[in-house]
Amino acid sequence: MPFLGQDWRSPGQSWVKTADGWKRFLDEKSGSFVSDLSSYCNKEVYNKENLFNSLNYDVAAKKRKKDMLNSKTKTQYFHQEKWIYVHKGSTKERHGYCTLGEAFNRLDFSTAILDSRRFNYVVRLLELIAKSQLTSLSGIAQKNFMNILEKVVLKVLEDQQNIRLIRELLQTLYTSLCTLVQRVGKCVLVGNINMWVYRMETILHWQQQLNNIQITRPAFKGLTFTDLPLCLQLNIMQRLSDGRDLVSLGQVGPNLHVLSEDRLLWKRLCQYHFSERQIRKRLILSDKGQLDWKKMYFKLVRCYPRKEQYGDTLQLCKHCHILSWKGTDHPCTANNPQSCSVSLSPQDFINLFKF
């Protein structure tokens, strides 16, 4: 409803910014408000164009200050729900459907990163969202994403573990944001450009902190890994699922370097991640005429995805369509709820909300 003054059809009053603040202009002869400021501006040596330019600059400066304040606010949207109902369509009892952002907000991911069994699962999920699903999140979900990411970085800086994993996550997120920020005019991101620039600067700061981290040697003086028999050392190395970890372990000492070059170790690693058909397509022979399993592994990694394995995962109950962490009780009416549950990989979790 318009404001009803003496003449509500008038274009409005004329204002100008002075040292004492904004003031309205009166015609000295008629005593009424003037609609044209050209004469006044000439009298007071004001340039109308500069006047409105300064006004625009002040508004833009205030808006940037407000955006920076909002982006720096540590408002937490962490929820503690152990399970959620996933509905994909409207019914008489429930309207709408569950989205990826809603599930990301309601599930307890902030506590899950503190559990070593769920940490890698959450990090992988954050990486997949950063690659392709960041624009599908709501504004609150995007802020929650950055808050959880901050908790992950702080945990890694404190524990000094999984450094390479978080470096890759931050690089993936920064690359995606660089692409999305260039398309802001197409409304692919929620929020002001200044807020996203600040977030990108925060990511660069986190990367710098991870690059400057100094791993401290533990004060424990008891039995170490190198004090174990060689067969036990090799048995422990067979539990590593990433070839880069084997290479890093081999750089610790000459004895570990010899163990890390074991052909059987790399053969089992290839057979664990890839099928026989994939391996036969990427055969590489060494100078001695034998299969070079180490080179084959890194060749296969560039061509095919590796097998993912997690200590704990999210699971979906097919009977009641409830999503929860593995081992969490939920109100299910099935006779055997465990038989109705299906474990979801991070990619399966994202695919669950593609309609």
Average pLDDT over residues 28-53: 47
- End-to-end Cα separation, the chain, in angstroms: 40
Question: Which pLDDT does position 206 carry in this prediction?
Answer: 95
Give the residue with greater pLDDT, 223 vs 121.
121
25 Cβ contact partners less than 8 Å away, ≥ 6 residues apart: 14, 15, 16, 33, 34, 37, 40
Question: Which pLDDT does position 60 carry in this prediction?
Answer: 55
Average pLDDT over residues 25-50: 48
- Asked if pLDDT for residue 45 goes beyond 50, the answer is no
Q: Which amino acid, 325?
A: W
Q: What is the arrangement of strands in the sheet containing 314-317, beginning at the earlier edge strand? A: 83-85, 322-325, 314-317, 341-344
- Asked if pLDDT for residue 204 goes beyond 80, the answer is yes
pLDDT digits 0-9 by tens, 297-347: 999 999 998 888 888 899 888 888 888 888 777 777 777 877 888 889 999
Average pLDDT over residues 103-125: 89
pLDDT digits 0-9 by tens, 259-306: 999 999 999 999 999 999 999 988 888 888 888 999 999 999 999 988
Quick one: pLDDT band at residue 71, thresholds 50, 70, 90? Answer: low
pLDDT digits 0-9 by tens, 207-239: 999 999 887 777 767 788 888 888 898 999 988
> How much is the mean pLDDT over the chain?
79
Distance of CA 74 to the CA centre of its chain: 16
Average pLDDT over residues 49-66: 54
- Residue 38 region, left (φ>0) first, then alpha (ψ -120 to 50), else beta? alpha
* C-beta of residue 325 within 8 angstroms of C-beta of residue 118: yes
Question: Which pLDDT does position 328 carry in this prediction?
Answer: 77
- Residue 21 region, left (φ>0) first, then alpha (ψ -120 to 50), else beta? left
Tokens encoding 67? 């955006």
Residue 85 has φ and ψ, to the nearest 5°, of: -90, 125
Whether the model pTM is above 0.85: no
Question: Which pLDDT does position 21 carry in this prediction?
Answer: 76
Q: Cα Rg for the chain, rounded, in angstroms?
A: 30
State the DSSP H helix or E strand holding residue 119, giving kind and residue range, or none if neither.
helix 116-128
pLDDT digits 0-9 by tens, 128-182: 999 988 888 888 888 899 999 999 999 999 988 889 999 999 999 999 988 888 7
Closest CA to 155 of 141, 171, 169: 169
Question: Which pLDDT does position 119 carry in this prediction?
Answer: 93
- Asked if pLDDT for residue 65 goes beyond 80, the answer is no
Cα 120 to Cα 153: distance, rounded to the nearest angstrom: 13
Closest CA to 50 of 93, 16, 76, 74: 16
Question: Which pLDDT does position 246 carry in this prediction?
Answer: 92
Tokens encoding 318? 């097919």
Q: What's the DSSP call for residue 292?
A: -
